[in-house]
Structure 1
Amino acid sequence: MDFQGFFWYFIYTCLAFQVAQSTALAHLKTPLENQPSSEAKIINGTEALWDGTRYQVSLRLTAGEWLFGAGHICGGALISRRSVLTAAHCIWMPANNRFRNASDLSVVVGNLNRYQRDNNTLVLGVSKISVHRDYNATSYTNDVAVLHLDGHVPANFTRARAIPLNSDLNLNASNTVCQVSGWGRTENGGYSPQLMVVDVAIVNRSQCATNYGALVHDGMICAGYMEGGRDACVGDSGGPLVCGEQLAGVVSFGVGCAQPGFPGVYTDVATYVPWINNVTKSYEDAGGLSDDGLSNGGVVGANGGTNDSTSNNGTVSSSGVSVMSCAPAFIFTVCSLLMRIIPSADAAPSGAQVSFELDGRIINGTAASFNATKHQVSIRRRRNDGYFFGTGHLCGGSLISSEVVLSAAHCFVDYDINNGTFRPHEDFIVVMGNLDRYERNNYTLVFDIAKIVYNVSIFNLTSYESDIALVFLNGTVPANYTRAQTITMNTRQVPHDTVCQVTGWGRTELGYLSDILMTVDVPIINETVCANEMSFHPSLIRDGMFCAGYRQGERDACGGDSGGPLVCNNRLTGIVSWGKGCAQPDLPGVYTNVSYWSNWIEEHTGIRGSGGTASVSHLSGLLTVLTLIFLTLL
């Protein structure tokens, strides 16, 4: 093979590695993704027409455009020949706690099909980004940003036109029917190559707050239907909500997509008209095409962020890519390093509908040791793990017998369909025996799955109730196998403030998935405090759930850790379920309560847990025996 041939082989192999690594986790979401869900979709919409959508733009990661259209991350609206209005969360990188560089982004206008590039296609760079100074990445307040383009949309360019801003502050109380558009996921589960549009009605604030509660703030409007059925989410994030041919809203967040009782939540453009006019005028007056950093006014430029390591969301096809037998270790190593430093394509920003982010991470943890974590297993997508061992990692789990693993039900949901149905158990494998998920040696055990038992036939992607699954292996862990050990389940309520340990291979504070199993200490939070004093709406914390973490944030777990164990006093107490973001203040992790499900687990497996102390009956028996011995001695 000549050098050129090897070069292209190497590039395609790296792409296959990236697809294998990222698509395993790309579709995992939580109730707050399915609370504001960042994985956008136009649900039950129709293909858009030119006349009504010429203001629509596609916001893309330039590094992701190896295939034109693959870098799409958000929508936006052209509000002048040099300005685009979008959502601040599209620019925010939660894994790095920073904004993106202006130079990382490009704006595309001129085609309804995001993959199409022809004489009508206009691609413009971004010179500067103005983000509202009070944007809050946790609450999604002030979720608005203006992209200042590095050139003008030509006056004679007929495929794009600016849209006027709505300034009617009373729109929030009306039942006006508006249109939202985007290239996000459809009801069929895939991202739409064609721009889609759907009609949604403005929902008044009090009705919207019925389920959202304090999540809906000033500067937000709700649109959709309380019965569900039609909606938008993130691939649509940042995109336009248009009422009466004026830009009224920017797609911000929501609980899932088209879920009953949870209409979409949008940034209210009318609230921000003065701010928008000010930043666009200031930029035009300055004539600035510079790429400078974050100023006191909230402008983000080249120094405002770093490369984002969010995983690829699955538009890159990996079919037909194989690995040569020569030098696989070298390729694997180099690809691993490259994929950690190269921004991912199609990186869906976290949060376009408040996501319970399941792209989990152990935040500010330490490397785990074998002695304390022999119960930990890695649950993987079989197909993805076939590319490179370890890249199929999807969730954690706990070995509760030699044949049964306990994990979270949401780990097995088919997110391509996204209606709560589960994938076939044959799609998954269970791996144990190593702290490094990429390591495969004589200690590594890999099991197929015989069956998976759930408490529900359809998983509720809005509430995350019954987030528990029993995974039955197709074999038995050998009795003399020293690298795995079952863990006893807790059957009693653990006192609040008890410090417990959660483990997983999820994303770290550095932004990428951990090779090595990580662990972090988190305290149990009082049930009432979690439901009423945190930033969750009280209705989100259901029976069979509890919270653990820190009010100030700092340490936490999420999705790549999803399904994994929370261990208190050496007993399995919780299963990583959901949370809003990771390590966010007043938003602790939410766990499935193992003791709540102990009878159900015993019914299906015959496995009993333990309360952690001797039972009353055992103590009574022991006291009786001691009393008899004492009387005999007398």
Structure 2
Amino acid sequence: MDPRRQKTTIRQTKASMEKRASRAPKRLDLRGAKQRGVERGEGDLSPATIKMYDDVERVSWCPFMVSLKQNIKRRIKLCGGTILTDTLTLTAAHCVIFGVTGLYLQFGSTYVFGGRMFEATNITLHNFFDRSAFAHDIGLVSIFPAKLSFGLNVLPVKLPKKNLDIESTSWLRIYGWGATSEHQSFSEILLSTMMPLVDEKICKSLLDNVPENTFCLGYFDGHVDACLGDSGGPAMLLDVQVGITSFGEGCALPLKPGVYTDVRKYIDWLHGAMKTLH
């Protein structure tokens, strides 16, 4: 079994990042670690509990959020997504590899079982999506001929320009209904947190086989992370979606950042796929 687990939940308030940073866990930094497989104390080896911050009480704060649910062999597979158009949702490819059978999308609510529910009618995955490596982990889901009615609680997400520069010191906001720790159940209400960007070279030194066209978010000592059920959800730079939650090793483990599909690398693919898929 691949030790990397599909990503999925989250936590933090809407207070300023500067105030958060003063009491947040340390950013990933290799100054105290000379190589991968850094020796850690016994207490550091156990799975970290993800810190909880404020629930997202108002869907108007994130009207682009979508909850994907699919019944597979009597088990519910949960993922996140974002609204692209009145018929299309953006998500991770690995979230929809089982096709549209039993796949439903929920819009307009921060509760995992609320809002309006639509049945998926079609999907498209990136041509080079590799399930084993989580490479090109991006896909679209259609509800056509049904269409969304946009309003305060249901609005499309903003996509980045291909040349958008993300500063190395950036913090991104992630969202999801996933597990609050590696062995816990899904959250009933949408959760959110701010995550610091991890240097590309550092990330590749800590994780095996990081795919191209991705970036990493995380803390040196874990504690806060996406977890099971958050896959497909957005990583937001202010009001622009620059990433899609893809995978990680466990949840909130020290020296194990999460990996996110870099949406900037797929703008051309998205525009082409949106033209061919209603």
TM range (shorter): 0.7 to 0.9
Q: Does 1:536 align with 2:221?
A: no
8 Å CA contact 2:4, 2:250 repeated in 1 = no
Partner of 2:105: 430
Partner SS, residue 267 of structure 2 = helix
* Aligned-pair CA distance for 1:584: 1.1
Partner SS, residue 60 of structure 2 = helix
Q: For residues 491-506 of structure 1, what are the structure 2 equivalents within 5 Å?
A: 491=161, 492-506=164-178
Q: 1:596 to 1:493 in 2, by over 3 A?
A: farther
Q: For residues 483-498 of structure 1, what are the structure 2 equivalents within 5 Å?
A: 483-491=153-161, 492-498=164-170
Q: Does 1:366 align with 2:54?
A: yes
* Aligned-pair CA distance for 1:482: 2.8
Q: For residues 141-156 of structure 1, what are the structure 2 equivalents within 5 Å?
A: none
Q: Does 1:597 align with 2:269?
A: no
Aligned pair partner of 2:68 in 373, 376, 379: 379
Unpaired runs of 5+ residues, structure 2, are: 7-34
* Aligned-pair CA distance for 1:372: 2.2
Partner SS, residue 207 of structure 2 = coil
User: For 1:323-349, what per-residue CA distance to the aligned partner results, in whole angstroms no more than 9, with x for missing partners?
Assistant: xxxxxxxxxxxxxxxxxxxxxxxxxxx
* Aligned-pair CA distance for 1:411: 1.1
8 Å CA contact 1:579, 1:588 repeated in 2 = yes
Whichever structure has more helix as a proportion of its residues is 1
How many residues are treated as equivalent by the alignment?
A: 238
Q: Which amino acid aligns with 1:576?
A: T
User: For 1:76-130, what per-residue CA distance to the aligned partner results, in whole angstroms no more than 9, with x for missing partners?
Assistant: xxxxxxxxxxxxxxxxxxxxxxxxxxxxxxxxxxxxxxxxxxxxxxxxxxxxxxx
8 Å CA contact 2:50, 2:223 repeated in 1 = no
Q: Which amino acid aligns with 1:482?
A: L
Partner SS, residue 502 of structure 1 = strand
Q: Does 1:34 align with 2:5?
A: no
* Aligned-pair CA distance for 1:438: 2.6
Q: For residues 231-242 of structure 1, what are the structure 2 equivalents within 5 Å?
A: none
Q: 1:404 to 1:528 in 2, by over 3 A?
A: same
User: For 1:46-84, what per-residue CA distance to the aligned partner results, in whole angstroms no more than 9, with x for missing partners?
Assistant: xxxxxxxxxxxxxxxxxxxxxxxxxxxxxxxxxxxxxxx
Distance 1:465 1:425 in 2: 21
Q: For residues 45-56 of structure 1, what are the structure 2 equivalents within 5 Å?
A: none
Distance 1:497 1:558 in 2: 23
8 Å CA contact 1:362, 1:520 repeated in 2 = no
CA RMSD after TM alignment: 3.1
8 Å CA contact 2:175, 2:190 repeated in 1 = yes
Partner SS, residue 574 of structure 1 = strand
Aligned pair partner of 1:482 in 152, 160, 175: 152
* Aligned-pair CA distance for 1:382: 4.8
Unpaired runs of 5+ residues, structure 1, are: 1-32, 39-212, 218-296, 299-304, 306-349, 351-360, 414-422, 608-634
* Aligned-pair CA distance for 1:513: 1.4
Q: In percent, how many aligned pairs have the same letter?
A: 25
Q: For residues 234-273 of structure 1, what are the structure 2 equivalents within 5 Å?
A: none
Distance 1:556 1:566 in 2: 12
Partner SS, residue 366 of structure 1 = coil
Partner of 1:253: none
Distance 1:454 1:393 in 2: 18
Distance 2:4 2:273 in 1: 34
Distance 2:154 2:50 in 1: 22
Q: Does 1:451 align with 2:122?
A: yes
Q: Which amino acid aligns with 1:455?
A: H
8 Å CA contact 2:4, 2:247 repeated in 1 = no
Q: Which amino acid aligns with 2:62?
A: T
* Aligned-pair CA distance for 1:523: 1.3
Aligned pair partner of 2:139 in 436, 458, 469: 469
Between 1 and 2, higher relative CO (CA 8 Å, sep ≥ 6) is seen in 2
* Aligned-pair CA distance for 1:585: 1.2
Partner SS, residue 204 of structure 2 = helix
Distance 1:438 1:516 in 2: 9
Partner of 2:29: none
Which of these two proteins has the greater Rg computed from alpha carbons?
Answer: 1
Distance 1:436 1:453 in 2: 27
8 Å CA contact 1:558, 1:576 repeated in 2 = no
Q: For residues 10-29 of structure 1, what are the structure 2 equivalents within 5 Å?
A: none
Q: Which amino acid aligns with 2:101?
A: E
Distance 2:262 2:52 in 1: 24
Q: 1:601 to 1:37 in 2, by over 3 A?
A: closer
Q: Which amino acid aligns with 2:55?
A: A
User: For 1:453-472, what per-residue CA distance to the aligned partner results, in whole angstroms no more than 9, with x for missing partners?
Assistant: 11137x53331101101111
8 Å CA contact 1:493, 1:595 repeated in 2 = no
Partner SS, residue 604 of structure 1 = helix
Q: 1:554 to 1:432 in 2, by over 3 A?
A: same
Distance 1:557 1:588 in 2: 10
